[in-house]
A and B are shown apart, each in its own frame.
Chain A
Amino acid sequence: MRSDNRPPLFLTISAIGGLLFLHLPILLIFLYAFTTDERTYQFPPPGLTTQWFAVAWHRADIWPALYLSLRVAALSTIMALILGTLCAAAMARTRFFGRDQISLLIILPIALPGIITGMSLRSAFSIMDIPFSTWTILMGHATFCIVIVFNNAVARFRRLSGSIVEASLDLGANSFQTFRYVLLPNLGSALLAGGMLAFALSFDEVIVTTFTAGQQSTLPIWMLNELVRPRQRPVTNVVAIVVFLTTFVPILIAYYLTRGGSETAGGGK
């Protein structure tokens, strides 16, 4: 193989095949949103129509679910931004007793399967007799979104030259001025990226949510119900497209905001 930089054909085919395997299925979602077949998943679709977009628009059960999802995603993003940035500021460059335990604690909600986070919250709500509400959903979402913002912010903190904070203090700025004029402008895009990813993650989350929502329905829960007991199948596809794009766009933006860094890589959803 002597420093030849041409990959073996077999490897190229399996690599590209693997990538296609990751991407092609999503395209089917788009195709099925236009099918005229409402009862089965027949392929190829017997005919094409755009009527399902109008039907979806007029379905009264979709709008409250969408609204709830947006509200939860927005609120948990804000909470994650605040809590995650605080953690990152404290942990990025200091060493102190218990530091490793704290970083484990931040990562744990996402390292353990969602069902454990969900079931744990469910157990706690049961023990403390807390009724389900938007806030119970939010508690779960904010908890696992913290790590997303934290990862992005910590990576950026590490890339910044350590002494710019000292330089700012040295030139007469106090801690608040240093945060306002030096740290915030440099963290900005990383925080925006973290916020985007947190929003996407929360908007799409279903496993933890089913344990903390009670009778409430977020958009993913609505979708899940449709999957288990389908009514108008193409309408589900229309909603799936909406969910896909609502998560896809922020992810793409986050990628461009943090290119060159390691913020999003293996961020471990």
Chain B
Amino acid sequence: MTLAADLTPREAKPNGAVLPSRGLGDRVSAVFWRHPNVLLVTLLALPLLWLVVVYLGSLAALLLQSFYSIDEFSGMIRREFTLSTYAELLRPANMDIIIRTVSMSAAVTLGAVIIAFPIAYFAARYARGHWKALFYLGVMLPLWSSYLVKVYAWKLILAREGIITWVTDGIGASAVLNGILALPVIGGSSLSTSYIGTWLVFLYVWLPYMILPMQASLERVPQSMLEASADLGASRWQTLRTVIFPLALPGIIAGSIFTFSLTMGDYIIPQIVGSSRRFIGQAVYQLQGTAGNIPLAAAFAVVPIVIMLIYLTIARRKGAFDAL
């Protein structure tokens, strides 16, 4: 062995083409090497078992429950296949709940697009260095920080005796506030008991979910493309409408998946801030709890799944998943 001679002399060691195996670790590794699928199965077995049994099992249970019904006399769950529980969803009172929830989800999504756009555009195009980090952190921290605390903060803000009333009184705009609250349907006795209040809180809580994907897709718009548009004589507004917006669209759709789905499934915000009229989430929560009607609660929970599946199918066609 010339290398050894070249450097320090060392005691002779067997130096064949193959080194000896050194116990169990080597033997198991050899099995992984010969059969890579064994390694894959070993790694995936535990997590897959968990996700399939606990999660998919539960989803199956949800579906199963939705085809059961409740015995009107005993209040017990009748474990026989029936479509009558789904038929109950079609009752006007329940349809109202579904329509109300979907409308709110759409309104929240629209509001989020409008408020998120300047933030995302500024962060993607103009923010550099420390500002970039600040914007990123500024969006990410509210995204991750406590949901309940955020909702609670808005309860304080929107309360009749709270800061908004104080501000509007202070600047002499209480007539405007009262005018808004007097509006039919979306108004109410105070912001915290009106649809406007519910909408604001939803908007606040889910806004970061719109900003992040929007920013990601805007960052993929090359600077040169904007300049090309300006060079061709487009005004800012034209550039925005014909170049930036279409390019940001996949990000907007990706964000809207979050805002739409999260709004549809929430039951805490409308319970704390809003009128007494129920949303799907509240219906599910009350039916499974106080009312003890698990089958109808399950059927209600299937509604957002179906709506989201339709939404996702459309979004996929628009190429929104690249921005996720």
Would you call B26 and A21 a contact (CB within 8 A)? Answer: no
Tell me whether A119 and B51 are in contact (CB under 8 A).
no
Q: In whole angstroms, how far apart are the Cα atoms of A120 and B22 in the complex?
A: 49
Q: How far is the CA of A28 from the CA of B304 in the complex (A)?
A: 33
Interface string of B225-268 (1 = CB under 8 A from A): 01100110000100100000000000000000010011011111
Q: Which residue of A lies closest to B117 (CB)?
A: A14
Q: Which residues of B contact A252 (CB under 8 A)?
A: 141
CB distance from B52 to the nearest CB of A (A): 8
Q: Give A230-264 interface residues, CB cut-off 8 Å to B.
A: 236-237, 240, 243-244, 247-248, 251-252, 255, 264
- Please determine whether B55 and A108 come into contact, CB atoms closer than 8 angstroms: yes
Let me know if B118 and A15 touch, CB within 8 A: yes
CA distance in complex: A153, B305 (Å): 29
Chain A's nearest CB lies how many Å from the CB of B68? 9
Least distance between A209 CB and chain B CB atoms (Å): 11
Closest to A16 in B: B122
Are B149 and A244 neighbours in the complex by a CB distance under 8 Å? Answer: yes
Residues of B within 8 A of A205 (CB): 147
The A interface, classified by DSSP as helix, strand, loop or mixed, is helix
B156 touches A29 (CB 8 A): yes
**In the assembly, what is the distance between CA of A5 and CA of B128, in Å?**
10
Distance in angstroms between the alpha carbons of A5 and B301 in the assembled complex: 49
CB distance from A19 to the nearest CB of B (A): 5
B103 at the interface (CB under 8 A from A): no
CB distance from B168 to the nearest CB of A (A): 11
Smallest Cβ-Cβ distance to B58: which chain A residue = A120
B127 to chain A, nearest CB (A): 8
A82→B43 CA distance, assembly (Å): 10
List A residues 96-150 near B (Cβ within 8 Å): 96, 102, 105-106, 108-109, 111-117, 119-124, 126-128, 139, 142-143, 146
A105: chain B residues within 8 A (beta carbon): 48, 51-52, 55-56
- Least Cβ distance of B47 to chain A in Å? 4
Contacts of A122 in B (CB 8 A): 288, 294, 297
Decide if B29 touches A174 in the complex (CB within 8 Å): yes
Proximity string of chain B (134-154) to chain A, C-beta cutoff 8 Å, 1 when within and 0 when not: 011111111111111111111
Q: Which residues of A contact B294 (CB under 8 A)?
A: 122-123, 126
Q: Is A227 touching B272 in the complex (CB atoms < 8 A)?
A: yes
- Contact check, B298 vs A119: say whether CB atoms are below 8 A apart: yes
Given A41-B156, A227-B272, A111 contacting B50 (CB threshold 8 A):
no
Q: Assess whether B301 is in contact with A243, with CB atoms less than 8 Å apart.
A: no
Q: How far is the CB of A182 from chain B (nearest CB, A)?
A: 14
Of A19, A106, A243, the contact of B148 (CB 8 Å cutoff):
A243
User: With a CB–CB cut-off of 8 A, which chain A residues contact B231?
Assistant: 2
User: Which of B183-234 touch A at CB < 8 Å?
Assistant: 204, 207-209, 212-213, 216, 223, 226-227, 230-231
Q: Is the CB of A116 within 8 A of B301?
A: yes
Given A42-B161, A126-B65, A240-B148, also A146-B47 (CB < 8 A): yes
CB neighbours of A23 from chain B (8 A): 138, 141-142
Question: Across the interface, which residues of A come within 8 angstroms of B271, CB to CB?
Answer: 228
Complex formed: what's the CA distance from A227 to B137 in Å?
Answer: 29
| Given known contacts A105-B55, A115-B284, A143-B51, A204 and B204 CB-to-CB distance under 8 angstroms | no
Query: Which residue of A is nearest B154, CB measured?
Result: A25
Establish whether residues A28 and B156, one from each chain, have CB atoms under 8 Å apart when the complex forms: yes
In the complex, B19 has a CB within 8 A of chain A:
yes
Q: Is there a chain B Cβ closer than 8 Å to A12's Cβ?
A: yes
Q: Which residues of B contact A42 (CB under 8 A)?
A: 161-162
Distance of A176 Cα from B261 Cα, bound (Å): 42
Q: What residues on A are CB-neighbors of B125 within 8 Å?
A: 7
Once the chains are docked, how many angstroms separate the CA of A7 from the CA of B142? 25
Q: Which of A29, A94, A111, A200 contacts B261 (CB 8 A)?
A: A111
A32 sits at the interface (CB 8 A): yes
**Given A127-B65, A269-B144, A43 and B163 touching (CB < 8 A)?**
yes
Which of A7, A119, A252 has most chain B Cβ within 10 Å? A119
Given A42-B161, A266-B213, answer yes or no on A7-B266 (Cβ-Cβ < 8 Å).
Answer: no
Q: Interface segment, A53-61, A84-92, A156-164?
A: A84-92
Q: What are 5 A-B contacts defined by CB distance under 8 Å?
A: A29-B156, A109-B55, A116-B265, A124-B62, A197-B144
Chain A residues near B (Cβ < 8 Å): 1-3, 5-8, 11-12, 14-15, 18-19, 21-23, 25-26, 28-29, 32, 40-44, 82-84, 86-87, 89-90, 94, 96, 102, 105-106, 108-109, 111-117, 119-124, 126-128, 139, 142-143, 146, 172, 174-177, 197, 200-201, 204-207, 210-211, 220, 223-224, 227-228, 236-237, 240, 243-244, 247-248, 251-252, 255, 264-266, 268-269
